[in-house]
Amino acid sequence: MSEKLWGGRFSKTTDEMINEFQASIQFDRRMYREDIAGSIAHAAMLAQVGILSEEDRAAIEKGLRDILAQIERGDFAFSVELEDIHMNIEKRLTDAIGEAGSRLHTARSRNDQVALDTHMFVRHAVVDVLDRIRELQHALVESATANKEVIMPGYTHLQRAQPILFAHHLMAYFGMLVRDFERFQGVYARTDIMPLGAGALAGTTLPIDRSFVAKRLNFERIYTNSLDAVSDRDYILEFLSAASILMVHLSRLSEEIILWCSREFSFVELDDAHCTGSSMMPQKKNPDVSELVRGKTGRVVGHLMAMLTAVKGLPLAYNKDLQEDKEGLFDTIDTVKFSLAVYAQLIRGMKVRADVMRHAVEADFSNATDLADYLVRKGMPFRQAHSVSGQAVALCIERGIWLADLPLADYQKLSALFAEDIYEAIRPETCVAYRNSYGGTSYEQAEMQLDAACDLMAEEQSCIAVLTQKQEIL
């Protein structure tokens, strides 16, 4: 059994089962780049203030970069006995370069070290998520542009309500993703705070320069309270919250696509490459991607709830409970990134069945509101117009016809305001075109939304480029 890096106070070695129970190396090994980058910056700072010799600093940096290369080649054997990524790397470094390696941990604790690594890891993850949000936005805009003349039923209560443009429907999800993008920008801003230098909880007696490290690691701010720096995980909670909201948006889109590609709707057809079949029923084409995203949403929301529960009763400062912050975080990052990536592919491969959507609009009474609005434009109060329109619908249901089929004479029995132009007023194209209020479903408004989306995505790309450059820490 290897000697613990903290074993001076202990007379017994740790039980093997306890080693395994408390070890985090199985999952926190993912933070090796962040750990090495933080250690290189820390060593440079120690040399800058005269705590570490330049010779030792150079040996530490070379040793750490050698370890980085070993890990990335797959030549690094991680040890459960050494618990975590920090102690695994430090032990290998000390074995490689001797006494200089044992000086690296001067003026820091694993408490502020793990906080630093996690802050950097989340920053990087946020940038990846932002990039994938923008890619899905692109896919939605591409599909909306290609199908911007397509009319479909809009729904409330899953009942056909009013005709809308298919592009308008897709751009609703674009708007949700815009806010998701903004939320993750906020996560980045509140993650971009440097905790190193807080020590275990109270700072250090040594003359460190935290600003030096923050600048080397591209942090915008520094924690002003050492207790806060090592004990809170609100940035992880915020990431999980933003991720949960994003996944809920994708889940809602999934639910609609699952409905749309069913035989009952047949509004869209998914590409064969994005579906599976049945082992028994040869006719089946299953929307597995959408179903999985809908299912994985529950998992992501669960990680948020687990973290909220873990943190809610913790006294200051560090407690081992906080080790539970990583598995759920890492799984959420992987799930969100993968879900966004596959959805961009799915949307791009999706075929829109305009004829089926058009029939669904025509074979219904979703133009009843437009009939009422027609009477309003001719001077009738809306409540009265609503009643007349309802009477027209009832008459059509009785006869088994639609509003477009009702003779003008019957319309005029309901109101003298009806004229031949009623048939033009309730055409699906007219219903859509007249809804030209800002943010409405008209052709003009849809075009404005698409133009604005392109401008916004260009701004988002610039933001991603800036943040990507900030991740260059090695």
Calculate the dihedral angle through the C-alpha atoms of 194, 196, 199, 202, rounding to the nearest 10 degrees.
-30
Query: Active site residue: 157, 244, 290, 303, which one?
Result: 157
162: part of which helix (H) or strand (E)?
Answer: strand 159-165
278 annotated active-site: yes
Contacts 24+ apart (CB under 8 A), 206-209: 206/49, 206/51, 206/106, 206/107, 207/49, 207/50, 207/51, 208/45, 208/46, 208/49, 208/51, 208/107, 209/45, 209/48, 209/49
Residue 188 bridge partners (DSSP): none
Tokens 């708007």: give the residue: 175
Give the number of residues written for the chain. Answer: 474
359 annotated active-site: no
DSSP state of 15: P
The token duo for 298 is: 């529950």
Separation of alpha carbons 120 and 53, rounded Å: 27
Query: Active site residue: 2, 53, 278, 462, which one?
Result: 278
The token duo for 95 is: 């074995």
CB 335 within 8 A of CB 300: yes
Radius of gyration of the chain (CA): 30
Return the closest-CA partner of residue 148 out of 132, 168, 128: 168
Return the closest-CA partner of residue 187 out of 329, 34, 27, 28: 329
Separation of alpha carbons 115 and 123, rounded Å: 12
Tokens 């009422």: give the residue: 372
CB 270 within 8 A of CB 261: yes
Helix, strand, coil fractions of the chain, as percent rounded to 5: 70, 5, 30
Buried b (16+ CB within 10 A) or exposed e, 233-242: bebbbbbbbb
CB 27 within 8 A of CB 78: no
Separation of alpha carbons 105 and 111, rounded Å: 12
Q: How far is CA 355 from CA 151, 153, 293, in A?
A: 9, 12, 28
Separation of alpha carbons 153 and 148, rounded Å: 14
Known catalytic residues are 157, 278
